[in-house]
Amino acid sequence: MNPSEPLFRRNVKYNMPSNPTPILASFPLRARLLARRAVSRVPALLLCGWVVMSSMLSPVAGAPGAGRAAPSEPIHTDVFRAGEDGYHTYRIPSVVVTQKGTLVAFAEGRKESPRDQGPTDMVLKRSVDGGQTWLPMQVVVQAVPHAAMDPCPVVDHTGVIWLVYDRWPQGFRGKVTPGLGPDAVSRWVTSSVDDGVTWAPPVNITASTKKPHWTGMAHGPGVGIRTRTNRLVIPTNQHAEGFTCTILYSDDHGSTWQLGGAAGPAVGESQVVELADGSYMLNMRSYRGQRRRAIATSVDGGMTWSRVRDHPELIEPVCQASFLRYTLATEHGKNRLLFSNPASEKGRVNGTVRLSYDEGQTWPVARTIVPGSFAYSCLAVLPDMTIGCLYETDTYKRIRFARFTLDWLTDGKDHVERK
């Protein structure tokens, strides 16, 4: 065979006798001429067939998906692993993206056991490469033998990271002890002005954000939001008045914090989003017996809330979830909201990310990112508009970070340009 010849010519010759002349010589002259003419046309026929098939398989210019590669699968990396860096268990993931693009991932470092409210420090890891690798762990709040719990950070318009958390006193009596003092559950806030490298001493904000008769309370967990008016909003809940949710808010860039109105009852851990019309929506863990997420909205900045309703599409096993703005139509052509949770009525499995185009009324897009063990999670939007999800897995033995695109989430049906 001549290597310089086209592939189809080589293939044709390879499957024919090397010298067909002796075979043809036994046939009449007319038959020999017809046979040679037919053989000479085989390469041309094969070439035509190849061109036709190529045109059928190639995307038409201008058609959806033309010239675009198939969406990449999510990439998962370990962030916290049980037993490492001096802690028995890591729980309650939270992650924010700073103005410089740094990922700051928070967790509870439970010192002695997996138990809630046991000796717990607040810890973090940072990533400066979009979650591919993570820098060594830092302790943000040293609380042991008490418990620093339920991280709920937010980044303000100046780039400062504010971290709100609850402190539970030693002895596991926070759920039943009312008051504003050190023997009761209290609220604290710390901040970082250098992308999470160093942190200010925590400040106690309990007096302005807790009613004296309240007992247990928590924040998020997950993240807070900065509204389009630069208000900082932290979702929170309390246990004394029938398990209700509310918000903390700051209109002076984190200097002082106030308490909003209540939504409930029979709801718990929550996340809040500012809708396109400026109203707020709470998405809440529900104790209402429906195995569905509970929803409430506010049109007055969180001072009052609508009646709680169960969302029929958002199934849950009674667990925390993440709820986040992805895009606004004024900036990226469409309103898009994201949601993640264990999409199961029976257990903390089937980690699923959903997408809404109508401000949380319906969720037509859903895709599993972790089919097995999946509990608490926290979503984030990176500077290049990829989506991050920090989540608990392996029955609380690991907290991992998944990164994926809108293309993957929608199976190539939707995409967005970077900011």
Quote the CA–CA distance of 76 and 261 in Å, as a whole number: 39
pLDDT band at 37 (very low <50, low <70, confident <90, very high): low
* Per-residue model confidence (pLDDT) at position 45: 41
pLDDT band at 122 (very low <50, low <70, confident <90, very high): very high
Q: Which amino acid is at 333?
A: G
Tokens of 209: 């954000």
Quote the CA–CA distance of 296 and 243 in Å, as a whole number: 14
With beta carbons less than 8 A apart as the criterion, state whether 321 and 285 touch.
Answer: yes
With beta carbons less than 8 A apart as the criterion, state whether 268 and 216 touch.
Answer: no
Quote the CA–CA distance of 158 and 275 in Å, as a whole number: 22
* Per-residue model confidence (pLDDT) at position 20: 43
* Per-residue model confidence (pLDDT) at position 53: 41
Model confidence at 355: pLDDT above 50: yes
CATH architecture of 75-409: 6 Propeller (2.120)
* Per-residue model confidence (pLDDT) at position 65: 46
Question: Helix (H, G, I), strand (E, B), or coil: what is residue 248?
Answer: strand
Residues 6+ away with beta carbon under 8 Å from 161: 96, 98, 104, 153, 154, 155, 191, 192, 195, 196
Token pair 């009312």 in the structure block, residue: 178
pLDDT-wise least confident of 36-40, 329-333, 334-338: 36-40
Tokens of 398: 């690991």
Model confidence at 77: pLDDT above 90: yes
* Per-residue model confidence (pLDDT) at position 23: 42
pLDDT band at 62 (very low <50, low <70, confident <90, very high): very low
Greatest mean pLDDT among 52-66, 69-83, 387-401 lies in: 387-401
Residue intervals in the chain for CATH 2.120.10.10: 75-409
Q: Sign of the CA dihedral 74, 79, 83, 88?
A: negative
* Per-residue model confidence (pLDDT) at position 104: 98
Catalytic residues: 269
* Per-residue model confidence (pLDDT) at position 36: 52
* Per-residue model confidence (pLDDT) at position 68: 61
User: How confident is the model over 149-154, as a mean pLDDT?
Assistant: 98
* Per-residue model confidence (pLDDT) at position 28: 52
* Per-residue model confidence (pLDDT) at position 175: 86
User: How confident is the model over 177-186, as a mean pLDDT?
Assistant: 95
Model confidence at 1: pLDDT above 80: no
